[in-house]
Every structure is written in C-alpha cells, then in structure tokens.
Structure 1
Amino acid sequence: MDTYVLRIDMPARRVTRAVAGESLAMLGGRGLIARVVLDEVKPGCDPLGRHNKLLIVPGVLGGTPAPCAGRISVGGKSPLTGGIKESNAGGVVGHKLARLGVKALILENKPDDARGLFTLVLAKDTVELVPCPDLAGLGVYETAARLQERYGKRVGVMVIGPAGEMELTAAGIAITDLDGEPGRYCGRGGMGALMGSKGIKAVVIDDSGTRAPEIRDKKKFLEAARAVIQLIRDTPQTAEVYRNWGTAALVTTTNALGGLPTRNFSTGRFEGADRISAEALRELILARGGLATHFCMPGCPIGCSNRVPRADGSDLVSPLEYETIGLLGSNCGIDDLDAIGEMNRLCNDLGVDTIDVGGAVGVAMEAGLVRFGDAAGALELIREIGKGTVLGRVIGHGGALTARVLGVRRVPAVKGQVMAAYDPRGLKGLGVTFATSPMGADHTAGNTVRVQIDHHSPAGQVEASRNAQLSAAIYDMLGVCMFVGPAVRDRIDLLGDLVSARLGVPCSAETIRALARQTIMAEREFNRRAGFTSVHDRLPEHFVEEPNPATGTTFDVSDEEMDGMWD
C-alpha cells in the first residue's frame, strides 16, 4: 500500500495528494517534521502567518501491531518559541491516520476569512473541508462530543478549544483516546494557535474499511514485537511502576531529589508532596470507582494513564499527570488533588497547555495577583482565558509573557517556553536538556530523571542529556511512546527490526541513532536560520546564581560544555 502526503491549501480549499517517495520511507513523526520544516518553512516567517505550515504526522510504525506505536506528532514553527516545534500525544489519531495511508498531513497558507472555521474530515476515499460555524467558541469536550455524534463514536478527533481560536501561544491540540475522551494533548509550543491560524477547529479521522499498513516481513515483525512486549513485562518500571502509579510516581522521586518545582520554582521540595503523590492519587481514584490503570492508545501493554472521578462519581479528568500536578500543584503551592484536577479539566476544555499555564499562574502568584496555595484564585485566573479578558489572554500566552507583563524577573522558561516539572538545580541533566533542546524547555525532548547519576553534580550531565535527547528523537520518529524506553534501552536493535520488517529495508540500531541525530541537527539548523545562537541555549540567570534551598545547589554545568554537546 502506497503512503501519501496530503497538502491542504486553506485559502483555495484545495487538496493535493502525492505518493511519498522512497527518500521519506524511514522518516515519520518528528523526523519527517524536521525535514519538511527545514526545507519548506521560511525561518523568519510569522508563525501565525501564511508562510508557516502545520504538519500532522504519524510515526514510522503507526497503524501496525507494534506495541505503543500509535503516537501522533504535530509541528511547524512555534508561535511560542519562534523556533521549530514538534509536539506529540497518544490516543487513537496516529493509529487511524496511518491506516488511511497518510504519511503526512500538511496545512498550508492562511485562510482569507480569519473568522471562518472548518472541520477537516478524512476517510478511506475522501478528504473534505466542512464549514463548522456552530463549533466556534466551544470548549474541547463539547466540540468532541458533537463531532462524535455527527461522524460516529469510532472516529479519531483532533480539536482546539477557544484558546486556539484566539491564537494564544500556550494553546494545544486535544486528541481523543480509546474511550473517545479528548484528554491526550499535543500541548507544548503553541500548536493549537497554529491550527487556529489555519482556520481549522477540528480534524476527524474515520478509518472504517481500512487495513493495517503493509508489513514486508510479517514473521520478523511479529518476533520483534513479541520481544518488545516481553521486555515491557519483565521491566519493573514498565510492568509495575507505570502501570500501577503512572507518571505521578515522579512526585516522590523529584521531591526527594530537591527537583519538585515549588512556588514558582523558588525551591525544589514541597511540604505538601505526600498529599499530591501517586499513592494519594491512586487511593483517591480507587475509593471513587475510577481507573488507576488506563490505556490511551491501541496496542499499549503498559496502561500508565488514569481516569479520575469527582467525589460524587462524575468524571473529573483523564489523565491527571505528573507535569500537571507539578506545575498547577506544587509550583502554585497547592496540595489538593481535586483542585488540581479541576484546573486540569478547565485547561483541557479551553485547549491550553497545563505546563505553560501552570507556569503563568505561578508567576502571577509571585506578582501578588493571588497568593500561593489559593486554589480558588488559581482557578479564577484560568477562567479568565475563556472570558477573553486582557488578563486571560496574557495567562493564555504562557509564563514568559505573563512575567514580562507583570514585571516578574524570575520566570522558569527557556526560548519562551516554561520548564516542565523539574527544578534544574536539583536535576541538572534536565537543566541541560531545557537549555539546549531545539524545542525549548521540554522534558520529553530528553528526560534524565532516571539516569543513574549524581543529579546534584555537574559531572556527566551533558552526556546524559545528549543520550536522552537522541533516545527521545528515536521514539518520536517511530511514533513509539517514550515509556517503552526503560524496557528497550539496551535493545534498540529490536526497534530497528520492526522498522526493517515494516519497510523491507535494512535498519539497525546504528541506523536509527543516525536518523535521530540527523533530526536534531535539522532542528538546530532551522533555529540557527531563524536567528537562534548559543545565547538562547541558556537557563535563566537565577537558576545559575540562586541556590535551591532544598539542595544548596545552583545550575553549574558550564556554558562551554553545553555549547560543545553536538561537536
């Protein structure tokens, strides 16, 4: 089965379909985004203007029976950072898009009528742009429900909320999961604003009547897939920790290391950590009849997600993740899981990134708009986004802009993007990733929290970050969940076997690592052309100059060592 690159010219409402050439065969997800953005997007363009493009790309292994291989990547020039951006999520969209034979979906140009909204509907034999004025201004949950009523419960849906329509740079894109819940998020980098700038409210993917992509060597593929599944079952991190506790297990880990952001990253240890820990979350979920183990995508044997009910049994949010607990919880001095869950749901419905908005709320608290620990006040700040007030729009543009507007010097952001929930003075490898990743301060670009290293020493942190960044690029290219990482860390050759069997070409671990490095180099080159220099690969000064009270350490990895990372 041939795969296709679909291009949608928004002003002309014209769809073109081209067979993906052999040169693109081993590129998917983040790797394909890096290639196309470097080749086709003007580095100096307005990210919300007609010269930028929004790419929606499944991974190389998308649509196949490979475990955990259904992630979807979106990318373009980031309205938030001004550099290249790829953001990915689980759910069903990546799987369904790959089954339609779509190698990449590229939205081009800018509609003439900025007020017009469309739903892009993809099915086996059709691609259609459907005007949807009835969806304008609706939240993510209501929009997804209406589209599922219109097109069927089995479709996959990508949708933006009011924040994306307003082109706020902390806006993300929601993705439906196996239950039809639009709770998976391509949250980082303002991709929701980019989708809104193209006049697209939603993308609906109907894979009815399709088959899985062709696998050239089925025997080899199944053998490799079974080997990966067995490794997942044999690895405590994937078989027990992720399955039973999810990402919230990191609360206790980072708090012990002095890396849990607390009160606008002023310290790395939170006195209320026990009340927002994985143990507390699991107890709450099970007591209310929720799901502490939940699967978000086809072919996942891990189940790191959850479904959190309210006290009355009604749905609160799915999932409630560590990054959200860290940024909307400890970072804001809030130790109430119900309050964090309500903020999470509101952010989801508005279509904004909980990390950047959590950073913005923390900055607003430092500025004195509300006090640290005031959950009701924090919720009101987030509600301002939906009202479209000046304050709401500021918060909806993320932490860096909020800090500039409110005159707060201490802002936890790199390249305009708020750090994920790790104080870089307590977890220095992540500090290196935050500083040097082409993506800005993004934990999924190279997470070192589980590397066996002294996290408080500068020694070895650049190497740890480099290895983690390469690993992240591998998973992002293939469309594989990064939580497979602990199981296959020493068996990347199995991922090569899956690619080789899928495409019918040789692919070793070395091949995959080379493609990962090539991807990062392409991203760095785009940023260079866009005006980024080594000056942009730095953490904010206060992390270098002010000790973390929890550890007594500063971020002291040298600029020279970071600058030589890719030499």
Structure 2
Amino acid sequence: MVQKILRVDMENREIEYESVPEEYKSLGGRGLTSKIVSDEVPPKCHPLGPNNKLVIAPGIVTGTNAPSSGRLSAGGKSPLTGGIKEANAGTSFAQMLGRLGIKAIIVEGQSENGYQLLSINNDGAELNDAEQWSGRGLYEAYEDIRNEFGEDVGICGAGVSAELNGMNSGLAFNDIEGRPSRYAGRGGLGAVMASRGLKFIVLNQKGAPGVEIEDKETFEEGRKKLEKALGKHDVTKPEGTLNTYGTDALINVINEAGALPQRNFSDGRDDESAKVSGEEKAKQIEKRGGERPHMCSPGCVIQCSEVWTKPDGEDPVGVLEYESVWALGPNCGIYDLEIIGELNRACNDLGVDTIEMGNTIAVAMEGGLADFGDGERAMELIEEIGEGTSLGKVLANGTEHTARTLGVSRVPTVKGQAMPAYDPRAIKGIGVTYATTPMGADHTAGYAVATEIMGVGGEADPLEKSGKAELSRNLQRSTAVIDTAGYCLFTAFAVMDIPEGLEGMVETVNGVLGTDLTTEDVPELGKQVLETEREFNKEAGFSNADDRLPEFMREEKLPPHNEVFDVPEEDLDSVFS
C-alpha cells in the first residue's frame, strides 16, 4: 500500500491525493503534524485567517494491532496560544485513517459556500453540504450522520463553540459507540477547522487495505514485548489502577499530595474531593448501569475509559476523565458527580475543551458571575455559548480572555492556555513542563507527575525545585516520540519502568517503517520534534519570557504546603538550551 497525503482546498473545493515527500515518510502523528505546520503555515499568520491550516495525522503504528495505539494528532497554529499546536485523541477514527493509507489530511483555504462535510472512503473523497447541522448539538448531529453514512463510520466534528470562533473549541471524535466524547481538545483547533468552512470529516474504512508492515517479524516481536509490559505494570495491567478506576483514580492521589487545585487554584486540598474520586465514580457507574472498564478505541489493552450515564442508565455521556472531573468539579468548588456529568455532556455537545471550560467557569466565579459550588449557574454559563450571546462569546474564548474581561488577576494560564489538574507549586516538575513546552500549559507534553507522585521511572520529591528542568526535558522528548508513533501516553508508565516495553515500542515502529532505530535514538528523535515546534514559536514572536508561569504562582502560597513555584528562571531557560 502506498500512503498518500489528502489535501483539501476549501476555497476552491478541490481534493487531491499527493505522494508523501521523502522527509515525511518516517514521521507520523505529532512529528508529522508539527513538520507540516512548520513547513506550510506562516508563523505570524492569523490563526483564523486564510493562511492557517488544519493537519490531522495518525501515528506511525496506528491502524495496526499494536496495543493501545489508536491515537492521532491534530495540528495547526493555535488561536488560543498564538503558537504551534498539537492536540491528541484516542479514537477509532485514527485507526481508520491509518488503514485507509492516509498519512495526513491537510485542510487549507476558506470556504464561502457554507459549512461542508468531507466524506472519505477507500474510493476517494468528496465535499458535501453540512449546513443542516450548523448550530446543533454534536450528540444529535453524530446520530444523524451515522444514520446517513452508516453505523460504523468514524467522525471528526467541530461544534457550536467552533462556529463562534471560540478559542476553547476542540475537535470531537467518536467513541466506539459513536458518541462525540473523544477529544483533541486543546488549543482551539475546532475553531481552526470551522474557520476553514469544514464542519465534519466522515470516514468509511470498508475495503481499506490496512497498514503495510515492512518487517512483520520485528513488528510482531515488538508488539508482544510491549503488550507483556503493559500487562504486568501495576498502573496499566488488567485490574490495575487505570483499568479499575480510570484516570479519575488520580483525584484522591493528587488531593492527598496537596496539589489538586480547588476553587480557581486557591487551595491544593479539600476533603470534599473524595466525593468525585475514581473510586466513588466506579461505584456509581455500577449502580447506574454504565460501563467500566471501556476502550477508547479498538485494541486498547489498558481500557481506562468508561460510559457515564444518568442514574436510570439513560443519556450516556461517555467518559468522565480525571481532567474533566477536576476542571468542572473541585476547581469550581463542585463536588457532585451528577452535576459534573451533566456539565461534561454539555461541553461535549458544544465541542469545547473541558479543561479550558472548567478553568473559564472558575475564573468567571472569581469574577463574580457565579458563586463557587453553584452547579446550576455553571450550566447556565455553558448554555450561554450554545445560545451565542455576548457573554457566551466571551466564555467561548477561554480562561485568559474571560479573566481580562472580568478583571481577575489569578489567571492559571501559560501562553494563553489554561492549566490542567496539577498545581505546579506542589508538583514543581510539572510546572517546568507547563512553562516550557511549546504547547502552552499541557501536562501531557511531559508528565512529570509520573515520577514525582507515582514513582514511575524513578522518584523525585514534588516539592523540591532542583533537578526538575532535566526531568521535564527528558519527559518532553520521550513524549514527542510516543505521540509520533501513535501510542497512548499511558503506555509510558510501563515503558519507563520495564526496559522490554520500550524495546517493544521501538521495534513496532521499525517493523512498520523498515528502519533500524534503537532505544538510544529516542531522545534525539524527540528533540528534533521539539526543535521544529520551538522554531515555529520563535518565528511567531515567542521568547524565553513566554516560558514562565503566571505571577501569582510565584507570590501566592498554596495551602496546605504553603509553597510557591520557585524553580529558578535560569533552570527554565536551560530546558531547551
């Protein structure tokens, strides 16, 4: 099978399959999206203007039977950060792309013909009118699309928030049952897609040739090694932490560490948080008739996903991830899973990133639009986006924009993007990642929590400031490779602790590409991806001054440890020096 790049010119309604340039052949996922964006998008262009592009690429091994490899990357210039962006999702859509032989989709230009739907199958691709779904919620729209195109299609969509050019809008992908609950949520890439005039991408993999594996023996040896490592690590194994409680298992862990941000990052611990923990949620799912564990995509052996429903088992939301539960819960002073589930569903329906939305609501609460803990008012604020009101348009543009509008000074953002569920004053290595990654505040870019809190890949005192630049640097490099390969970030737990797991991961990549990479090549490969992203941001106007946490985190002590973020600026500058 010869892989192709699918280029979609929205202005001229032209679709073309192109040969893959030699320099792209050994790339996939994040490595490829960032390279294409760097090559084709002017760094100083307006993110919602005619010169930005949306790039979607499956990982190198995505579409094979490698374990937990159903990931894709979406890239472009972020309207939220103003820099390069990669957002990642686990979904069967990713596997379909790989099996259809599509190395990447590049969406460029802007349509003047209303919103369009891009339909792709093994015979080709075409654009269709999608105006009938404009202004409608994604749960209803995805059901309609599956009725029209088939139950087994893969869907990528931009919601109502994206139609408002909302900088908090993500790309919604289907879960296994077809719901819009798998998100490449961060950075406003939903608005980039909608501003091209593209509303949906629908894939049908019937008759697809599958992923060509150059060296099947090496691939199979690597697959077995990685699957074995995942199967015996305490975090990733069957009936292990993630399989039993999902990502929300971290609520109690991070709260106990004094690093679970409460009420807009004003405290690091609250005993009420146990009410929304993974342990409690697992009990509720069993009572409600939901599903746990659950796969985000076929072939996931970790199965940290789930299906959350109302108490009577109706209106399934999909998964309630740790980040979503925290952002819409404790960070807003809300400690009720029922309320959080409905807020999460509303975010999915509108196509907004739950991390950005939860932080936006918390800032709005601090700015006087609601009281902390008022779940009913929180829902009303989200509904303002759906109604397209003036306030809704403010909220759709995220945490920093809302804080400026309301005059709030405690603004937990880096490069314009809101922080995830780990306060960097109590976990300082993750603070280095927030500050220095090209992506804006993003825990997945270099998950120092694994080492600092979970003891994976070694141990490090989370309150100690020294040595955190090196920790973050190493993790950022390895993560870039995982994202490029197409593996779930959670495979890193086993890979970091079990050498055979890393060997297996590298061997599966070699098997697909026919290369001879070794585990020693991983840091350099990751470094190359990061250098591409850093250079784009530099040309867009970023400097070391942008690699900083907000002022209040250096001055305002966080209970219960009463720590500030005190990693020296020279250490931050050394991460990429």
TM-score (norm 2): 0.97
For 1:177 and 1:122, locate their aligned partners in 2 and report how far apart those are by CA, in whole Å: 18
- Do the aligned partners of 2:478 and 2:522 also contact (CA within 8 Å) in 1? no
For 2:278 and 2:546, locate their aligned partners in 1 and report how far apart those are by CA, in whole Å: 35
- CA apart distance, 1:410: 0.6
Query: What does residue 456 of structure 2 align with?
Result: none
Alignment of 1:89-488 (within 5 A): 89-113=89-113, 116-239=114-237, 240-451=240-451, 452-488=459-495
- CA apart distance, 1:505: 1.8
- Do the aligned partners of 2:112 and 2:197 also contact (CA within 8 Å) in 1? no
For 1:202 and 1:550, locate their aligned partners in 2 and report how far apart those are by CA, in whole Å: 46
For 2:137 and 2:395, locate their aligned partners in 1 and report how far apart those are by CA, in whole Å: 17
- Do the aligned partners of 1:74 and 1:186 also contact (CA within 8 Å) in 2? yes
One-letter code aligned to 1:483? F
- Given candidates 514, 529, 532, the residue that maps to 1:504 is 514
- CA apart distance, 1:198: 0.7
Query: What does residue 544 of structure 1 align with?
Result: 554
One-letter code aligned to 1:229? E
- Cα deviation 1:408-464 (Å, max 9, x = unaligned): 011100111000011110111111111101000011111111202110110221122
SS of the aligned residue for 1:482 comes to coil
For 1:260 and 1:375, locate their aligned partners in 2 and report how far apart those are by CA, in whole Å: 19
SS of the aligned residue for 2:188 comes to helix
For 1:404 and 1:475, locate their aligned partners in 2 and report how far apart those are by CA, in whole Å: 36
Aligned-residue Cα RMSD (Å) equals 1.0
- CA apart distance, 1:471: 2.0
SS of the aligned residue for 1:238 comes to coil
- Do the aligned partners of 1:316 and 1:342 also contact (CA within 8 Å) in 2? no
- Do the aligned partners of 1:143 and 1:159 also contact (CA within 8 Å) in 2? no
SS of the aligned residue for 1:450 comes to helix
Alignment of 1:20-35 (within 5 A): 20-35=20-35
- Do the aligned partners of 2:417 and 2:440 also contact (CA within 8 Å) in 1? yes
- Cα deviation 1:87-127 (Å, max 9, x = unaligned): 010111110011111001000111234xx010000100111
- CA apart distance, 1:375: 0.7
One-letter code aligned to 2:551? E
One-letter code aligned to 2:326? G
One-letter code aligned to 1:193? A
- Cα deviation 1:273-309 (Å, max 9, x = unaligned): 1101111101100111111200111211110001112
Query: What does residue 455 of structure 2 align with?
Result: none
- Give every structure 1 segment of 4 or more consecutive aligned residues whose post-TM-superposition deviation is greater than 4 Å: none
SS of the aligned residue for 2:60 comes to coil
- CA apart distance, 1:511: 2.8
Alignment of 1:45-124 (within 5 A): 45-113=45-113, 116-124=114-122
- Cα deviation 1:532-561 (Å, max 9, x = unaligned): 011100000110111102111110001001
SS of the aligned residue for 2:81 comes to coil
- Do the aligned partners of 2:221 and 2:507 also contact (CA within 8 Å) in 1? no
- CA apart distance, 1:345: 0.2
- CA apart distance, 1:246: 0.8
Q: Which stretches in structure 1 are left out of the alignment for 5+ residues?
A: none
- CA apart distance, 1:315: 2.9
Report percent identity of matched pairs. 45
One-letter code aligned to 1:30? R
- CA apart distance, 1:26: 1.4
- CA apart distance, 1:16: 1.7
Query: What does residue 529 of structure 2 align with?
Result: 519
- Do the aligned partners of 1:158 and 1:202 also contact (CA within 8 Å) in 2? yes
- Do the aligned partners of 1:316 and 1:341 also contact (CA within 8 Å) in 2? no
For 1:93 and 1:273, locate their aligned partners in 2 and report how far apart those are by CA, in whole Å: 34
- Do the aligned partners of 2:225 and 2:503 also contact (CA within 8 Å) in 1? no
For 1:450 and 1:44, locate their aligned partners in 2 and report how far apart those are by CA, in whole Å: 35
SS of the aligned residue for 2:236 comes to helix
TM-score (norm 1): 0.98
SS of the aligned residue for 1:236 comes to coil
For 2:557 and 2:39, locate their aligned partners in 1 and report how far apart those are by CA, in whole Å: 43
- Cα deviation 1:333-369 (Å, max 9, x = unaligned): 0000010010000000000011111111000111111
SS of the aligned residue for 2:450 comes to coil
- Greater alpha carbon shift after TM alignment, 20-29 vs 349-358: 20-29
Alignment of 1:2-17 (within 5 A): 2-17=2-17
One-letter code aligned to 2:351? G
SS of the aligned residue for 1:272 comes to helix
- CA apart distance, 1:271: 2.7
One-letter code aligned to 1:499? V
